[in-house]
Structure 1
Amino acid sequence: MLNINIEMDMASEILKLLGHETRLTMLKILDDHDCCVCEFVEIFQATQPAISQHIRKLKDSGLIKEERRGQWIFYSLNKEYEHYDFLIKLLNLLPCQNEKLKKLELNGTRIQCN
């Protein structure tokens, strides 16, 4: 079992970020897959600026990191994040979201950003 020690104010800040269903779902997806903005746009049927705002908040907090691959930027969980163990413990309580990416693949709408 993980030994997780976190200050109340930091736990509150993380939980505020996770309090939005879109950001929470994004993090759960990123627990298993790296994704780019265009994939999240398709998954959530949201505008690129709206998705970018969510990503900015997650990135600014340190919860996710970005990696450039050619002309694309992919996002993943930041395993170096100071409170990664706390985040993972929370994400492990949630249902898998892999079906969202599988649905895009089946519909032929998954964006291939490679």
Structure 2
Amino acid sequence: MHPVRELPSLLPAADAVVLCAPPTEETRGMFGAHRPASLKDGATLVNVGRGELVDTDALTRKVGSGRLRAALDVAALEPLPGAHPLWRQPEALITPHAGTFTDASAKDSATFLPRRSWR
């Protein structure tokens, strides 16, 4: 775990970055357009915090180029529109931002995850 101020020195060497911060003055936009570009090729960004932490358009461009992978439990616009390009990216895993399980969760996960996992 590291504070936001250390991101510039940590990101170029990171294989994965997991954002689980709340939306505050310091964290809103913390992963703006410049941050996805500073990650090394093949890195994965995971956002389980809040959608407004990440510039979704900038991340979409980097994932679409094949440079980055993303696992998003939240997005700036929720639900993420069905026509959003991230849904069609094999390097993106989108989860439903659900903090609970239902009787259908195990079955749904068993069919959804194998289709979306990275090879």
TM-score by length of 1: 0.24
Whose RCO is larger (CA < 8 A, sep 6+)? Answer: 1
Which structure features the higher share of helix residues? 1
